[in-house]
Structure 1
Amino acid sequence: MSITLADARLVTPGGVHPGWLTIEDGRITYVGQGQAPTGNGHGLGGRLVVPGFIDIHNHGGAGASFPQGDPEGAARAAAFHAGHGTTTTVASLVSGSLEDLGAATSALADLCEDGLLAGIHFEGPYISAARCGAHDPGVLRTPDRGEFAALVKAGRGHVRMLTIAPELPGALDVVRDAVAAGVTAALGHSDATYEQTQAGIEAGGTVATHLYNAMPSLHHRSPGPIAALLQDERVTVELINDGVHVHPAMLRLAFKAAGAGRTALITDAMAATGIGDGEYVLGSMRVRVSDGAARLVEGGTIAGSTLTMDVAFRRAVQLAGLSLVEAAQVASLTPARVLGIDDRAGSIEAGKDADLVVLSDDLQVEAVMKRGAWIAEPPAP
């Protein structure tokens, strides 16, 4: 079945163009400029169309938490985020016992095979106790190659990323093992020096887990991990653009240093996303959400976010000053490259999956399409 979307403003890597596109068997087959063929097409009334958002760091939503490993809840969380434009979601786990991590990984792998999730991310347990944030310090472990191999095996080919602190004993070996297994090594939740971070990059680390957060701050005599991660062309930096985790000025600094090609917006969302204020659980830790900000009940440490990718996209344009093309890149194409799926996702181009978000002039989500099927249909033009 062929579908034509006409009378749209298409946000492509080459610019924003009035035009149209055709879709067949879930893929974009043609992207045209100007008027669509006469009498053919679903008119969008001049609305913006951007590629579906890709979230590579997400712990849940709609009251469900991916670390719990509950298939029904995980599916509900993925569906909630899809309604906000995220057509590709990686399920992030938090530090836990090896038994709990293995069980959750196995359960989530089933959803990956069903196409509901795009992969699994281990955020821990090989992270720094000094920078563990909302992770339970009691379950943190020294990096172990055998343990990591067992977790990857439990994922049945669906483990996509590991967050690890490069200064820990044995960490560099696990980074190398991750890369060899096709798993992206992300450096974060780390108390590393500048030099230790550089060693992690040389070993194969190519992502900075939520840059600025859970790592030493920039200092002119002790630059630490932030400087090493921002300046290395091999590293993509994650940013949580929710107005809580990072000041807009620091967002702009990261965008200028890394550019859209090395910046990936993430949500770091947890179960409260879409539900509201109250008390929740992230892994084994109790979290209180107040005015949309999630913090540990004990100690007040920031504990993930209640962000959705459409909000992150909108803030990137309206508050950080990114163009629509740049915002589409940091919300879609750059994360697609991190996952190694940019040949079929992340931008509006012929041959790629028809994962699309229709936006109003003020960048509110009005419709979402995943692989050629509407998740939420557009209003009449």
Structure 2
Amino acid sequence: MDYSIEGRHYKTLVPVRVGITGGLISKIEEINGCDNQTLIAPGLVDLQVNGFQGIDFNEAHTTQEEVRQVTQSLWDVGVTTYFPTVITNSDERISASLHTISAACSNDQLVNQTVKGIHLEGPFISKDPGPLGAHPEAYVQGPNWDLFCKWQDKAEGRIKLLTMSPEWPGSVDFIRKCVESGVKVALGHTAASPLQIKEAVEAGASLSTHLGNAAHVMLPRHTNYIWEQLANDRLWCSCIADGFHLPEAVLKIVFRVKSGKCILVSDSTKFAGLDEGSYQSPIGGEVMLDSQGRLSLKAYPELLAGSAKPLLDCIAYLVRTKLLSLADALEMASIKPCQYLNPSAIPGLSPGSDADLMLLNQKNESLTVLKVIKSGQLVHSV
């Protein structure tokens, strides 16, 4: 089906008509006499989604239908591509989660088009308090290629991103094997030395997962894994800009140092969209969600337990604090992750790119999603 939409280009604010043919953007042309103030922007791409609105990918009995429900809920807040994230757990639990997500993709075309890959965050991470974060220490282990291959089989090849710590023996060889198999390797939840960080990057690690979080409370002021990752020009980095995970000053520094190689992620959990209160979570056990949307471990309130904010809220926060323009924040949550995953792909709002779009209303400091288009199909409208 061929059709077109009209509005203002998110970057130039010029009125445009966007033609859509066969799930792709066929043309973009400027138009005159358009009073429509709606912004047309690329759909959001979130590489770290643990769950959303009461559903968690890490729970034992999550169903294919619930994967479909999360996908629909994410469309409603502008996310047209995401990576379900499976964290440190038992072999059986990880296998079950991967199988359920993969089966949901196999049985629903639009879910399959939206879930571009699975993010396996752990269990090959640090056991140190701080870097461990909310992951269950009992299941943390060193990198195991045979086990990873077993999980990749369960996922039917859908694991596209792995977060690990290179502090373990055998990490360099493991990273090389992952990269050779087409899996992107990210460094995170790590207590690695600067030398181990360098060796990991040489082996093919290409991303820092939520840099600045899941870290020791106290670090050596000069020689540490955060500075080392910031300084390495070959590493992209992801950040959680929900107003809780990183102070404004830290975000400002990361955006400047990693200019062009920074990605926004939500790290959202099942508590995104729920009321404040105490909850039981597969990520960290008992957690507290306060009235401002901050999610923390109940026993250790200084430690965060993931995020309860969707990606659109992170964009609004960056615009509200004037850390980024709306256009730059949108690109950091759409075009940049696509470029990281596939540098040769046609990104964003361009002829030939996928028709993954959202129509936004910006009023003062708030953003409202009016319509969302996935692969040329309207999947959300208000």
**1:328-359 deviations in Å (ceiling 9; x for gaps):** 22110111123328625x41001111111111
CA contact (8 A) 1:161 1:183 kept: yes
**Unaligned runs of at least 5 residues, structure 1:** 37-42
Which residue does 2:73 correspond to in 1? 80
Partner of 1:39: none
CA contact (8 A) 1:57 1:267 kept: yes
Report deviation, 1:93: 0.7
CA distance in 2, matches of 1:320, 1:198: 33
> More displaced, 274-283 or 186-195?
274-283
* Contact 2:167–2:191 (8 Å) recurs in 1: yes
CA distance in 1, matches of 2:316, 2:35: 20
Residues 218 and 355 from structure 1, CA distance in 2 versus in 1: closer, same or farther, beyond 3 angstroms? farther
- Aligned residue among 70, 87, 90 for 1:94: 87
The residue matched to 2:98 in structure 1 has which SS? helix
- State whether residues 267 and 307 of structure 1, in contact with CA within 8 Å, keep that contact through their aligned partners in structure 2: yes
Matches for 1:292-371 after TM superposition, within 5 Å: 292-300=293-301, 301-340=303-342, 343=345, 346-362=347-363, 363-371=367-375
Map residues 1-381 of structure 1 onto 2, 5 A cutoff.
1-6=1-6, 8-11=7-10, 15-35=12-32, 45-68=36-59, 69-113=62-106, 114=108, 115-116=110-111, 117-130=115-128, 131-216=131-216, 221-259=221-259, 261-278=260-277, 279-283=279-283, 285-291=285-291, 292-300=293-301, 301-340=303-342, 343=345, 346-362=347-363, 363-377=367-381
Whichever residue aligns with residue 246 of structure 2, its letter is: V
Q: Deviations over 1:127-170 (max 9, x none)?
A: 00111100000111111111112112221121111110011122
Aligned partner of 1:322: which letter?
L
Tell me if the contact between 1:217 and 1:224 (Cα under 8 Å) persists in the aligned partners: no
- Do the aligned partners of 1:217 and 1:226 also contact (CA within 8 Å) in 2? no
Quick one: distance in 1 between partners of 2:207 and 2:120? 13
Q: Find the aligned partners of 1:231 and 1:320 in 2 and give their Cα distance.
A: 25
Shift, 1:283, TM fit: 4.3
Q: 1:342 to 1:243 in 2, by over 3 A?
A: farther
Q: Cα distance 1:77–1:180, how it changes in 2: closer, same or farther (>3 A)? A: same
State the Cα distance separating 1:288 from its structure 2 match. 2.4
Is the contact between residue 60 and residue 78 of structure 1 (CA under 8 Å) also seen in structure 2?
A: no
Aligned-pair distance for 1:186?
Answer: 0.5
Q: Distance in 2 between matches of 1:247 and 1:35?
A: 43
Q: TM-score, normalised by structure 2?
A: 0.90
Superposed displacement of residue 50, structure 1: 0.9
Secondary structure of 1:254 counterpart? helix
- Rounded to whole Å, the distance in 1 between the matches of 2:4 and 2:140 is 51
Structure 1 stretch displaced more, 177-186 or 312-321:
312-321
Change (3 A) 1:284 1:258: closer
| More divergent stretch after superposition (86-95 vs 223-232) | 223-232
> How many aligned residue pairs are there?
367
Distance apart, 1:227 and its partner CA: 1.9
Q: Letter of the aligned partner of 2:373 in structure 1?
A: M
Q: Aligned partners of 1:120 and 1:34: how far apart in 2?
A: 40
Query: Structure 1 residues 48 and 118 mapped into 2: Cα distance closer, same or farther (>3 Å)?
Result: same
Q: CA deviation at 1:218?
A: 9.0
SS at match of 2:307: coil
In the alignment, residue 188 of structure 2 is paired with which amino acid? G
Instruction: Give the superposition deviation at 1:11.
Output: 2.5
Q: How far apart, CA to CA, are the structure 2 residues paired with 1:196 and 1:287?
A: 33
Contact 1:215 1:225 in 2 (8 A): no
Q: What is the distance in 2 between the residues matched to 1:341 and 1:248?
A: 29
Q: Which amino acid aligns with 2:268?
A: A
Distance 1:223 1:367 in 2: 47
- Paired residues of 2:283 and 2:305 also in contact (CA < 8 A): no
Give me the identity figure in percent: 28
2:133·2:215 contact (CA, 8 Å) conserved in 1?
no
DSSP 3-state at the match of 2:10: strand
CA distance in 2, matches of 1:280, 1:366: 33
Shift of 1:318: 2.5
For 1:371 and 1:341, the matched residues in 2 are separated by 20
* Residues 170-216 of structure 1: per-residue CA shift (max 9 Å, x gap): 22222111111111100000011222211111111111110100124
What is the distance in 2 between the residues matched to 1:321 and 1:47?
23
Uncovered stretches (5+) of structure 2, i.e. residues with no partner: none
